[in-house]
């Protein structure tokens, strides 16, 4: 499932993020890539221990916590700390599939595995600021080309083959991260998401309808059955 989540950050927040990132300690993105991905990756990235990345990543997590749409679609169990990247001067990231497991640094330096069920990109540059830089995602519904407004997020299965096309003018700055979902199977997550949306619409259109109790019960029973929490 590919989903557009608008307004994760507002214009004021985006402007502040951009100001902070302008003076940050960008490094070669290959340093954080696996062997195969490094062959296709050409961008700049903030190291995961960079203080600016950690602070702004925490604020992204706070914003996601206020997004019912993101929560309904991703059903997050654990979110890998958000990272930040930058493309300019023809840089790109060729077709690849994200690593199935990322390791988050936990308490006492322990490595905590995070299964990358759901990938997300939060755009921080407005589309008119750069040329190229489309996120191209190949999934069961064909090839999708994504270039969203600053502050908007796209969510898609971590199993998808995807790329970032060359940025030929300006800069493309974004935040990206992965979510380990309570529900491992992408098809089951999609069914739960669609059921949740239907319940929300019925709640508005027919408040108090007895069917709401039944549908909500079905939702939670399916979640109980499919969750690996």
Task: Tell me which of 76-80, 94-98, 107-111, 173-177 is least confident.
Answer: 107-111
Domains of the chain: 3-181 (2.60.120.620), 186-226 (4.10.860.20)
pLDDT tens for each residue of 124-176: 999 999 999 999 999 877 899 999 999 999 999 999 999 999 999 999 999 99
Bigger pLDDT: 67 or 110?
Answer: 67
Query: For residue 34, what pLDDT is reported?
Result: 63
32, pLDDT greater than 70: no
Local confidence band at 105 (pLDDT 50, 70, 90 cut-offs): confident
Structure tokens at 125: 């540059």
Which among 56, 155, 137, 57 has a CA at the least distance from the CA of 93?
Answer: 137
**φ, ψ dihedrals at 116, nearest 5°:** -90, 70
pTM of the model: 0.94
Local confidence band at 33 (pLDDT 50, 70, 90 cut-offs): low
98 is in an annotated binding site: yes
- Cα Rg of the chain (Å, integer): 18
Bigger pLDDT: 182 or 34?
Answer: 182
Which among 55, 49, 76, 50 has a CA at the least distance from the CA of 13?
Answer: 55
Q: What is the mean pLDDT of residues 100-121?
A: 91
162 is in an annotated binding site: yes
Bigger pLDDT: 189 or 107?
Answer: 189
110, pLDDT greater than 90: no
3-state SS string over 31-86? HHCCHHHHCCEECEECCCCCHHHHHHHHHHHHHHCCCHHHHHHHCEEEECCCEEEE
Q: What is the mean pLDDT of residues 182-206?
A: 96
pLDDT tens for each residue of 10-21: 999 999 999 999
């Amino acid at each position: 499932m590919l989903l557009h989540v608008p307004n994760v950050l507002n214009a004021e927040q985006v402007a502040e993020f951009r100001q902070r990132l302008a003076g940050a300690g960008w490094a070669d993105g290959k340093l954080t890539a696996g062997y195969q991905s490094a062959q296709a990756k050409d961008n700049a990235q903030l190291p995961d221990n960079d203080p600016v990345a950690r602070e702004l990543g925490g604020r992204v997590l706070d914003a996601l916590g206020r997004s019912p749409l993101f929560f309904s679609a991703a059903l997050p169990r654990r979110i890998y700390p958000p990272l930040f990247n930058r493309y300019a001067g023809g840089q790109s990231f060729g077709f690849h599939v994200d690593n199935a497991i990322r390791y988050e640094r936990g308490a006492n330096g322990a490595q905590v595995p995070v299964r990358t069920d759901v990938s997300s990109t939060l755009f921080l540059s407005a589309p008119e600021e750069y040329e190229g830089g489309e996120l191209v995602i190949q999934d069961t519904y064909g090839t999708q080309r994504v270039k969203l407004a600053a502050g908007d997020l796209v969510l898609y299965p971590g199993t998808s083959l995807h790329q970032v096309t060359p940025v030929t003018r300006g800069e493309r700055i974004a935040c990206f991260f992965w979510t380990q979902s309570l529900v491992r199977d992408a098809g089951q997550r999609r069914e739960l998401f669609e059921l949740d949306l239907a319940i929300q619409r019925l709640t508005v259109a027919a408040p108090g309808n007895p069917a709401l109790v039944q549908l909500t019960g079905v939702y939670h029973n399916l979640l109980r059955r499919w969750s690996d929490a």
